[in-house]
Each structure stands twice: as C-alpha cells, then as structure tokens.
Amino acid sequence: MRLRNITGSREVIAESRFVIQEEIQPQCPGTWKEIFRNDRPIHIEIGMGKGKFIHAMAKQNPHINYVGIEKYSSVLLRALQKMELEELPNLKFLRMDAEDITKVFGAGEVDRIYLNFSDPWPKDRHAKRRLPSREFLARYNIILKKGGKLEFKTDNRPLFDFAVEELEPAGWKAEVITYDLHADEKLVEGNVMTEYEEKFSSMGNPICKYIIYR
C-alpha cells in the first residue's frame, strides 16, 4: 500500500467533514461522545489502509461508533472516497501516527481495537514500530476500557508469532488464537475481510487471528 504521493490528498483531507482535523485532535480525549453526539461504544481500527473493513463494520453496526486511523494521506483518501459514495454517521477518521494514540483518546474511552494486517517491520531494531508490540500494547492499555478487547489479523506468521510472544510480558491474555481463521467455522462467522485479507487469502495464505484482553 504505497500511495503516499497522490497530489492534493492533504488538501482533500483538510476539507473533509469525515476527518477529525489535526488541530482539533488535542481536544479529543474525553470528548468522543460529543463528537459522535451519542454515548455508543467506540471501536477503532489502527492502520486501516483504504478503509474497506471499517466502512463495512460501521455499515453493519450502526449502534457502534467507529474511528479509522491511518498514517498516510494518500491511503486515507481512498477511505474518504468510500464515504463520499456511502456516508455513514457512525464513522470518523484520523490521519495520524498511532504512536500518538494516547493524545487523542482518553483513559478507557475505547471499547475495542482492531489491528488488521499491520506492517511487519521485519528488522529487529524496528520491533517497537510493530502495532502489536509491547510498546503499542502499553498505549492500548491506557485507552482501552476495562474488559475491552483487541483483535488482530494477519497472514504474516513471523509477525503473528511475535505478537503472541509479546502478550505475557505486556500483561495481556489471549481469549482466542487461530492460525487459520477461514478454516474455523465458528470464528469465521461474521468475519469482515480487509483489503489485504482478500488479497492474501485468495493466494492461499492462512489468516492468523487473536482476540486479547487484560
């Protein structure tokens, strides 16, 4: 997903009513109920890419508020185009690096976190940048409410093994672990495929998934 230089994407984002603009972000912690004008649960996808998953989830679950987070403007632009075609009141977007996630959500403000096909950062010295790393789990620990859950899917087995190994030192526990989601009749029920999931499962790659809590 390398669409970083689409001309005008920053300008489109700056004018989009679907995006919480960067200058507003510092005011967001503790105010998400006001942003959505209701007190429904808040689910976020970090590294949402072009937004297929979160748009479908928001459409299926109007009783839940969704926030899609993406670092790159040119990728976020694709998610905005989906919203232009089909606007959903329960879906907002943030263009930001998830390293700063605790600056936009207050303590316990998020009910569920989704990580889908996160970038693997294969070099050891980049392990801290992996979204399921213990460093990120510590950030999620702050914003996720008590009893909240985090779901992670990937076809990248080394990344998944790393993510599972990070759980204990970070103080999290697995409720569910599968190394072949699509072959598990029960777990796959209601599964919404992401862009990467469609691509890699069609190539025959098994999809790993965990659901974790602390």
Q: Which is nearer to ligand SAM, 109 or 155 (CB)?
A: 155
SS3 22: coil
In the range 102-131, which residues lie near ligand SAM by CB under 6 A? 116-119
To the nearest whole angstrom, how small is the minimum distance from the Cβ of residue 151 to ligand SAM? 12
Interface positions, 174-213, toward ligand SAM (CB under 6 A): 194-197
- Which among 92-100, 141-149, 165-173, 182-190 is the span making contact with ligand SAM, rule CB under 6 A? 92-100
Residue 98 interacts with ligand SAM (CB under 6 A): yes or no: yes
Scored b (16 or more CB within 10 A) or e, 99-128 reads: eebbebbeeebbbbbbbbbbebbeeeeeee
Could you tell me the smallest distance in angstroms from the CB atom of residue 176 to ligand SAM? 18
| Region from 26-34, 81-89, 96-104, 206-214 binding ligand SAM, contact rule CB under 6 A | 96-104
Angle at 40 between CA 36 and CA 42, to 5 degrees: 80
The DSSP bridge pattern shows strands 65-70 and 144-154 to be unpaired
Binding mask 46-85 for ligand SAM (x = CB under 6 A): xxxx-------------------xxxx--x----------
Does the active-site annotation cover 161? Answer: no
Question: Which residues, including other chains, have CB under 8 Å from residue 186's CB and lie 6 or more apart?
Answer: none
Q: Contact 210/176 with Cβ under 8 angstroms?
A: yes
3-class DSSP state for residue 4?
coil
In degrees, rounded to 5, the angle at the alpha carbon of residue 207 between the alpha carbons of residues 206 and 212 is 145
Among 39, 97, 111, 119, the one annotated catalytic: 119
* Positions marked catalytic: 119
Q: Which residue ranges make up the site for ligand SAM (CB under 6 A)?
A: 1, 46-49, 69-72, 75, 97-99, 116-119, 194-197
